[in-house]
A and B are shown apart, each in its own frame.
Chain A
Amino acid sequence: MALWGEIVRRFTYLGRRSQFERELDDEVQFHIDSRADELEQEGVPRAEAILRARREFGSSLRAREETRSAWQFRWLEDLGSDLRYAARAFRRSPSFALTAICCLALGIGANTTIFSVAMEVLFSQPSCRDPRSLAQISIGGVDWIPMQQYRFLRDARVFDGIAGINVQMVTQWKDGDASYKLAATRLTEDFFQVTGVPLAMGRGLQKGDVDSTVLTDGFWRRRLGAQPNVIGRKLVLDGRLFTVVGVLPRGHRTLVGFGFMPDLFVLTDPGEVMMYARLPEGMSHQDARARLESLCQEMDRVYPDPNHKWARGISISGVGGMERLLHNGSGTSMMPVAAFFGMLMVVVGLVLLIACANVSSLLLARSFSRSHELAIRFALGGGRGRILRQLLAESLLLALCGTTGGLLLDVVLTRLISGLPLPMQWIEFVIQPDWRLLAYSAAIAVAVTLAVGLTPAVKGTRAGIAIALKKQDGRAGSRRWSLRNVLVVGQLAVSLVLLSGGLLFIRNLSHATSLNLGFDTAHTVWATFSEQPASCTPERFRELTRAALERFRALPGVDAASLARGVPTAMPIRFSGDVRADTSSHAARLTYNFNSVGLDYFHTMRIPILRGREFLETDSAGAPPVAILNENLARLLFGDADPVGHTVLLPKGEELRIAGVARNSKYSILWEEDALAIYRPYAQNTINDARFVSFVVRAQGSPDALVRALSKTLAALDPEAAVEIKTMRGALQPSLVPSRAGAVAFGAMSLLGLTLASIGLYGVLLYAVSRRIREIGIRVALGATPANVLSMVAGESARLVAVGAAIGLAVAVFAVRPLSMFLVPEVRASDPVNFLAVACGLALVAALATVAPTLRALRVDPAVALRHE
């Protein structure tokens, strides 16, 4: 407490130093005057009295110095004066300071921005009461627990409540004539009480709120125009009336995290839930695990299941930070996302390294041109430590300015990212600067200060007085030279590595965009159509489906239309199990894509039938069951033999005669390879009471115009049905996001790195030429041709680039290997063409950076140069 007061008083002193000095002068003067008055009263003449008083007081200078030092933070003031000195020095060479600060600001800005985004995406804390005592629990090795088991655990009351959520649900919202698909997270009744999620308006959902809903801020703003009186408003969801009882605040982060943000929350029966338990005070995760284990053993006795034991695979993990990231309950690991950000952090780290090398190189050049000044300061008795500190103060000032610039860049960029409409629905990020960012920036500033300043400062102060005063480069000069060259070579090598990665991602994007999916994406539209089982019989649904298909085919601009259960890449269906060909005696355990498709499906999707035939009208429900395989599966089961006419046995004992073989295409995700697939006729669909169907429609021209027409047609058939319609191309956008993000981030970073490295090369070459002007002048005077001069400068550049490129290539070959996990199979990380292209690009940029220094060397006039000092 006393110490704190002391610090405050010292700081107030710092703020009003000039006033303090004046007052101290006044006080000393008063003391001397008073003593003189007294002496005068004793009879001493005035003039002598003043002199005696002064003598008695002693050295007023020393008194003042000591008085001042009572108040000072010595090191702080020294640092302040060092910084002021550095600022003055920079003001004298503004272009140097500006270049250095811009380099650092770009490097640091890139770092802090990626850091901010990574922190938000991976480690953000969910918005709820006391997140630390909330834990996600998985039992039986899975996250998703049926309601029966959920109720059992909840009613055991081991925890202070268990909240269950189901985030995978969608609902159809009818707003006037329009109908939208919304993400409606379904909650258990006690969700809001257990989690303590704060609300901006109204209240949370409670027990008995059957037809009530809580909205998220984004939905309320975007879809309801941020109406202030939204509480009590009615929404029609899946044909039922729901009342809005609350709205979540802006910047809410869900328990699930990773940016997931539904449109609204309802209490409709979730079916199965992810569980979040509120741990009682003092209960550790270990305790909770033990309690849960015995509880699950009991549950296994109450609901026996020979195939599944809930007491196995119990895990308890926190709802934020590292634990949520590592949580891998149902195999949906976030590790690829984490790996992506980890890679980006490495990349921006390298960019910052390049930027530091640039500034370090600039400072090095400066410290040579200042060697005279430094030598004088040495000669006057400046300690090496003192001068070292002075030089480090310069790099500290640069780092501080650079960090400030970088933070500004960060705030602007993250605001841009936060406001960006993401192509992925229901993903929202709230990126705000926080203490973690500040701490990170401070750490970066310190690291940059040392990285940038230490080498030049040590080098600059090591040279002895004698050498420096001679103001010659001499031997010492040639050694310093190589240090700058090493820096440039390093920069070139690092930027080559970055470029290799960047080019891979850009090629990846162009491949992913123009990827041949094996079916027509340019002209097709798909629509899903579903009805509530309660309001629609299977017969009526079949009738509606048939009518819809007829009306589609009659629409102008429609080339062909068909139906299917799934839509490739948008709504894939996958099965696994034992599959056997009749030619083979043993089955193969396979994971394969499945679809049951209507007549004309292959024609509509433009998937060629390579052997056999398409499905025909005669493949009806009563007819012998048939199937069409894709090439991969046909080859796997039958080798090179023609499979048509053979039969294939599926896991449930079904025997299908093979009618044909279809060309391979993509089924689930864009980067799948060698995927297997089986098609069956829609008429032989085994699920007879389905109220869900997909349509695929081929447009003669642009598919966009068809979306409205299809929507109208379906709405006319049944306005209550849930419908989603998208062009195939539009629906593919979300699956391109990873490629886009990678290409943008990596491409931008590698270009930034290359730019910085070429600035570095340019600086080094220009500096070299300016130091050798005299030498060049002598050479020209002695008869050197412009070609000689050219080869001298350009040769220097070529040597640096060659060494840098060689090192960079050697590193890149290994460094880009792990990237293949983010790339489509068509882009190989080890492709030599890639490295060749990158090396050529680097050489080109290096050549550009060499032009100006070379021209300068060529323009050297011997008459001027020989007088040059």
Chain B
Amino acid sequence: MEPSASPELLPGTLYLLILRTLRSGPLHGYAIAKRIKEASRDGLEIEDGSLYPALNRMLVKGWLASAWGVSENNRKARFYRLTPEGRAQLEKEAGEFDRLVRAIKLVMRTA
């Protein structure tokens, strides 16, 4: 089952974005969504309803681990962090994504 990502997102890129966002350290779900939105200067918006299924699928695959902690606004929140497997997956997917984008760009420019 592939994530039902928002139409603006290429299929499968949601995992990549989440992995990349978590590279700098553990975050809770809301912060992940916000960070992606800000980093893309509002260009990418993740539908809130699809964020949590994606996070859980990644937990099942073992790319992420989660732990409960206290958020900056003093609420109990679940923080996600990268596992070594997740880091490896990020490198792999980032490389693949780069190749894909380069290829698409080439096609767009020349064809």
Residues of A at the B interface (CB closer than 8 Å) are: 2, 5-6, 9-10, 23-24, 26-28, 30-31, 33-35, 37, 56-60, 62-64, 66-67, 69-71
How far apart sit A56 and B59, CA to CA, in the bound complex (Å)? Answer: 24
Q: Are B73 and A34 in contact (CB under 8 A)?
A: yes
How far apart sit A66 and B1, CA to CA, in the bound complex (Å)? Answer: 10
B30: chain A residues at CB < 8 Å are: 30-31, 34-35
Q: List 30 A-B contacts (CB under 8 A).
A: A2-B61, A2-B62, A6-B60, A9-B59, A9-B60, A9-B62, A23-B68, A26-B76, A30-B30, A30-B71, A30-B76, A31-B29, A31-B33, A31-B48, A37-B73, A56-B48, A58-B48, A60-B49, A62-B49, A63-B52, A66-B4, A66-B52, A67-B52, A67-B56, A69-B1, A70-B53, A70-B56, A70-B57, A70-B59, A71-B56
The majority secondary structure among interface residues of chain A is helix
B91: chain A residues at CB < 8 Å are: none
A71: chain B residues at CB < 8 Å are: 56, 60
A56: chain B residues at CB < 8 Å are: 48
B68: chain A residues at CB < 8 Å are: 23
Q: How many A-B residue pairs have CB under 8 A?
A: 73
Q: How far is the CB of A15 from chain B (nearest CB, A)?
A: 15
How far apart sit A66 and B68, CA to CA, in the bound complex (Å)? Answer: 21
Q: Are B28 and A2 in contact (CB under 8 A)?
A: no
Instruction: Say yes or no for B75: interface residue by CB 8 A criterion.
Output: yes
Contact of A27 among B1, B47, B53, B77 (CB under 8 A): B77
For B41-59 the 0/1 string (1 means CB < 8 A from A) is 0000001111011001101
How far apart sit A70 and B51, CA to CA, in the bound complex (Å)? Answer: 12
Q: Which of B1, B50, B56 has the most CB of A within 10 A?
A: B56
Q: Are A23 and B78 in contact (CB under 8 A)?
A: yes
Instruction: Say yes or no for B38: interface residue by CB 8 A criterion.
Output: no
Contact of B47 among A6, A24, A35, A58 (CB under 8 A): A58
Instruction: Say yes or no for B85: interface residue by CB 8 A criterion.
Output: yes
Q: How far is the CB of A738 from chain B (nearest CB, A)?
A: 61
Q: Are B62 and A28 in contact (CB under 8 A)?
A: no
B1: chain A residues at CB < 8 Å are: 69
B77: chain A residues at CB < 8 Å are: 27, 30
B49: chain A residues at CB < 8 Å are: 57-60, 62-63, 66
Q: Count contacts on B: residues with CB < 8 A to the other chain.
A: 26
How far apart sit A173 and B45, CA to CA, in the bound complex (Å)? Answer: 94
Complex: chain A residue closest to B29, CB-CB: A31
B61: chain A residues at CB < 8 Å are: 2, 6
Q: How far is the CB of B35 from chain A (nearest CB, A)?
A: 13
Q: How far is the CB of A79 from chain B (nearest CB, A)?
A: 20
A5: chain B residues at CB < 8 Å are: 62
* Shortest 9 CB-CB contacts between residues of A and residues of B: A66-B53, A58-B49, A70-B56, A63-B49, A70-B57, A57-B48, A34-B30, A67-B56, A31-B30
Complex: chain B residue closest to A58, CB-CB: B49
Complex: chain B residue closest to A2, CB-CB: B62
Q: How far is the CB of A57 from chain B (nearest CB, A)?
A: 4
For B1-14 the 0/1 string (1 means CB < 8 A from A) is 10010000000000
Q: How far is the CB of A693 from chain B (nearest CB, A)?
A: 83
A35: chain B residues at CB < 8 Å are: 30
Contact of B52 among A6, A10, A28, A34 (CB under 8 A): A28
B60: chain A residues at CB < 8 Å are: 6, 9-10, 70-71
A9: chain B residues at CB < 8 Å are: 59-60, 62
Q: How far is the CB of B39 from chain A (nearest CB, A)?
A: 17
B46-103: which residues lie under 8 A (CB-CB) from chain A? 47-50, 52-53, 56-57, 59-62, 68, 71, 73, 75-78, 85
Complex: chain B residue closest to A38, CB-CB: B34
Contact of A6 among B48, B62, B73 (CB under 8 A): B62
Given pairs A10-B60, A63-B48, 6 additional interface contacts (CB within 8 A): A30-B71, A34-B75, A35-B30, A58-B48, A70-B60, A71-B60
Q: How far is the CB of B9 from chain A (nearest CB, A)?
A: 16
Q: How far is the CB of A633 from chain B (nearest CB, A)?
A: 86
B62: chain A residues at CB < 8 Å are: 2, 5-6, 9
A58: chain B residues at CB < 8 Å are: 47-49
B57: chain A residues at CB < 8 Å are: 70
Complex: chain A residue closest to B58, CB-CB: A70
How far apart sit A578 and B60, CA to CA, in the bound complex (Å)? Answer: 85
How far apart sit A67 and B29, CA to CA, in the bound complex (Å)? Answer: 13
Q: How far is the CB of B76 from chain A (nearest CB, A)?
A: 7
A34: chain B residues at CB < 8 Å are: 30, 71, 73, 75
A2: chain B residues at CB < 8 Å are: 61-62, 85
B48: chain A residues at CB < 8 Å are: 31, 56-58, 63
Q: Are A30 and B75 in contact (CB under 8 A)?
A: yes
B47: chain A residues at CB < 8 Å are: 58
